[in-house]
Chain A
Amino acid sequence: MAHTTVATAPGKSIWDGGVSPMGASYGKLMMWFFLLSDAFTFSGLLITYGLVRSSHQAYQGTIDAFTFSTEYWPVPEKVFEAVPFLHGVELPLVFVGIMTFILIMSSVTMVLAVEAGHRMDRKAVEKWMLWTILGGATFLGCQAWEWTHFIVGTGTPTVKTIFDSVTGVSQQIDVYGANLHVNQYGPQTFANFFFFITGFHGFHVFSGVLLNFLIYYNTVTGVYDRRGHYEMVEKVGLYWHFVDLVWVFVFTFFYLV
């Protein structure tokens, strides 16, 4: 399909109909253009994060002396340093590194499923799709844990000063964890962006797992054998790799920078 030789009648261009100028099926092209539009959506979110972050005061002191404050933008590796079952141990970025590893590996198993599909090897497609689904589900589980930790907080409160402009009275409150109203780690928008960006990505992973399961189901029931090709594996594969691609950017711009 991808290697169809393009033959045109004399005096006609490949755009005059009858051949596929882009050498890809309708479904694959539409997946590509959908992903392009989705890339714009994620770019919008991440770039707005960049705008808001660069408009806030950055932390000035040394890394060792860092404490949470609502006055300046936090250093991400100080926020994301917890690992399940290792309570109280500071392991910056280790857990998110494990999540990155899981997602990259599930992308590899997906591309192996696509390769098996090209060979009409049903057993191999089933095997690799199952690994991919497992990887996606594990990632979602990790994210649920990370969200819970982020919402509950570190156990040590951050003091925030609230000024009431009506009465003119300032009061100080202890903030534990983060949600859309308060945030112990830094400015409120930091928590909001965390929920929106990782949440929107997590939603993509979730729908990706559902699509992968659908493909697995159709493979097991022999739909693609009867159809004569496994192109659906390729199309959903494109989507799954895109989810991995977005995570690469989220990992860099939210957790590392």
Chain B
Amino acid sequence: MAHHSNEPQVTVLPPDRAKIMHLWKVAGILLAVTVAEFAVAFLVPHEFHTTRVAIFVAMTIVKAAYIVGEFMHLKHEVKVLIWSILIPMVFVVWMLVAFVYEGMKLSDIRFF
């Protein structure tokens, strides 16, 4: 008690119920999408490879959007910050398209 006056005065606020409920809702969505990915992996036959890949990529983007937007709070930041992070991703998309296309062309000419 003698040192009490040296301790910082901290005011603890009560939990923000609405915000916490929202966070659990986002968690539920993420888990539901993951379960749906499993369903697609086992229910859609491998013969429909393109369909499978398209569904997986779409679901991954949904999950990524929730993680970055809600958990990392980017959705609620200033617009300049949002675009500073999102616009450079254009390079990644281009790199993906260019390299996978290159890979398919390589498979035409390789003999091993």
Chain A contacts to B: CB under 8 angstroms:
2, 21-24, 29, 32, 36, 39-40, 43-44, 47-48, 50-57, 63, 75, 77, 92-93, 97, 100-101, 104-105, 107-108, 110-112, 115-116, 118-122, 124, 222, 225-226, 228, 237-238, 241-242, 244-245, 248-249, 252, 256-257
Contact = CB atoms under 8 A, between A and B. Distances in A.
A104 B34 contact: yes
B46 A63 contact: yes
14 contacts: A21-B78, A50-B100, A51-B103, A52-B103, A55-B102, A93-B41, A108-B71, A111-B23, A119-B15, A121-B15, A122-B10, A222-B7, A248-B67, A257-B53
Contacts of A50: 96, 99-100, 103
Contacts of A39: 89, 92
Contacts of A252: 37, 56-57, 59-60
B110 A241 contact: no
Interface in B33-92: 34, 37-38, 41-42, 45-46, 52-53, 56-57, 59-60, 63-64, 67-68, 70-73, 76-78, 80-81, 84-85, 88-89, 91-92
Interface residues of B, number: 58
Given A101-B31, A122-B10, A249 B64 contact: yes
Contacts, number: 151
A54 B104 contact: yes
Contacts of A237: 71-72
A54 B96 CA distance: 12
B96 A47 contact: yes
A245 B78 contact: no
B85 A23 contact: no
Given A36-B88, A248-B63, A24 B78 contact: yes
Nearest to B92: A43
A77 to B, nearest CB: 7
A245 B103 CA distance: 26
Nearest to B82: A22
B56 A257 contact: yes
Ranked 4 nearest A-B pairs via Cβ: A54-B103, A55-B106, A119-B13, A51-B103
B5 interface: no
B108 to A, nearest CB: 9
Contact of A21 (B14, B23, B80): B80
A244 B71 CA distance: 10
A124 B10 CA distance: 14
B38 A97 contact: yes
A112 B80 CA distance: 26
Contacts of B100: 47, 50-51, 54
A111 B78 CA distance: 20
Nearest to B104: A54
